[in-house]
């Protein structure tokens, strides 16, 4: 997967080209909107690592800590974009 992402951070939009799992994670974040995404909903990929890499590229992502119940109760992170973003798929 290869995508182009335009981040609307301020007066000057910023465009990135992302591939692979970073593209996948950015697409999921953009589609989730204000709800965000979490490892509870996407347990297989290493979501926190992709979020870390996206942040290093300058993508503003918020983290909220949520509690969860069940046999393995505890806490997990929910990630949300802190800006508007437009994602265009270049290669599926």
**Residue 9: what pLDDT?**
86
Which mean pLDDT values do the consecutive 10-residue runs of the chain (92 residues) have? 91 92 94 92 84 96 93 92 93 76
Structure-token match 């347990």, residue found:
43
What whole-number distance in Å separates Cα of residue 36 and Cα of residue 38?
7
Parent domain of 78: 2-91
User: CB-based contacts of 85: which residues, under 8 Å, 6+ apart?
Assistant: 5, 6, 7, 8, 26, 29, 30
- Give the count of domains, the chain: 1
Q: What is the pTM of this model?
A: 0.89
């Amino acid at each position: 997967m290869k995508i182009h992402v335009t981040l609307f951070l301020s007066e000057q939009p910023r465009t990135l080209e992302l591939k692979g799992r970073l593209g996948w994670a950015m697409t999921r974040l953009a589609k989730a909107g204000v709800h965000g995404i979490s490892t509870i909903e996407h347990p297989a990929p290493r979501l926190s690592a992709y979020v870390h890499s996206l942040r290093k590229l300058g993508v503003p992502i918020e983290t909220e800590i949520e509690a969860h119940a069940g046999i393995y109760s505890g806490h997990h992170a929910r990630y949300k974009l802190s800006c508007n973003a437009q994602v265009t798929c270049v290669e599926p």
